[in-house]
């Protein structure tokens, strides 16, 4: 039995040593595959980050576009309302000149003022101010040596601001020194 045991030990030793090299090859191959998979995972993470950034940019751009369209529609509607509001003011002034009772129109104008205020529409103060091309539109010039250049001397049409946006500039007359 001793010869048989010795032979078995030699065979086992050879198998173990043979297994070591094949196991090392397998381990090396697995390390290579692991590295490749890690590189793929890193690549996919980068792609995912780019896609998430693109999605966030698209989301912001879409929100801005929607807000812009809403603001445009709101501005348009309010400009039409302001046109009607101006007509009521002119009607009240014309009736007042004829000494006709304007209490009804005054009440309507008060309601309209409340509506404008509730919706964030504020009038642009112009008379006596210095001309600002972002708020005012000069349609005439009046020579007046007593006033500084570009002082607003008359307001032809009231201007309005809606949520920090000028929806209608004031039409004004400005002064110039001779």
Q: Would you state the CATH architecture of domain 120-178?
A: Roll (2.30)
How does residue 20 score in pLDDT terms, banded at 50, 70 and 90? confident
Alpha helix locations (H) across the chain?
2-97, 103-118
Is residue 88 within 8 Å of residue 115, measured between CB atoms?
A: no
| Band of residue 146 on the pLDDT scale cut at 50, 70, 90 | confident
For the cut 60, the answer to whether the pLDDT of residue 49 exceeds it is yes
| Residue labelled with tokens 């946006």 | 165
- Measured in residues, the chain has a length of 178
Identify the pLDDT of residue 18: 54
Domain ranges, ordered by start, for the chain:
1-110, 120-178
pLDDT of residue 3: 52
d(CA 15, CA 12): 5
Model's pTM, two decimal places? 0.67
Say if residue 154's pLDDT is above 60. yes
Q: What percent of the chain has pLDDT over 90?
A: 79
pLDDT for 163 equals 87
pLDDT tens, 85-116?
Answer: 999 999 999 999 999 999 999 999 999 999 99
Residue 145's pLDDT is what? 84
User: How does DSSP assign 35-46, residue by residue?
Assistant: HHHHHHHHHHHH
Model pLDDT for residues 53-91, shown as the tens digit of each residue: 999 999 999 999 999 999 999 999 999 999 999 999 999
């Amino acid at each position: 039995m001793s010869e048989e045991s010795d032979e078995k030990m030699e065979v086992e030793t050879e198998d173990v040593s043979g297994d070591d090299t094949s196991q090392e090859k397998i381990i090396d191959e697995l390390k290579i595959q692991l590295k490749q998979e890690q590189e793929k995972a890193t690549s996919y993470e980068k792609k995912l980050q780019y896609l998430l950034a693109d999605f966030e940019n698209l989301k912001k751009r879409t929100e801005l576009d929607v807000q812009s369209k809403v603001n445009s529609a709101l501005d348009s509607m309010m400009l039409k309302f302001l046109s009607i509001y101006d007509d009521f003011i002119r009607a009240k002034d014309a009736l007042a000149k004829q000494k006709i009772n304007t209490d009804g129109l005054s009440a309507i104008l008060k309601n309209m003022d409340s509506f404008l205020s509730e919706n964030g529409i504020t009038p642009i103060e112009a008379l006596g101010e210095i001309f600002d091309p972002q708020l005012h539109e000069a349609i005439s010039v009046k020579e007046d040596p007593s006033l500084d250049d570009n002082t607003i001397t008359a307001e032809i049409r009231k201007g309005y601001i809606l949520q920090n946006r000028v929806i209608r500039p004031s039409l004004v007359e400005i002064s110039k020194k001779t």
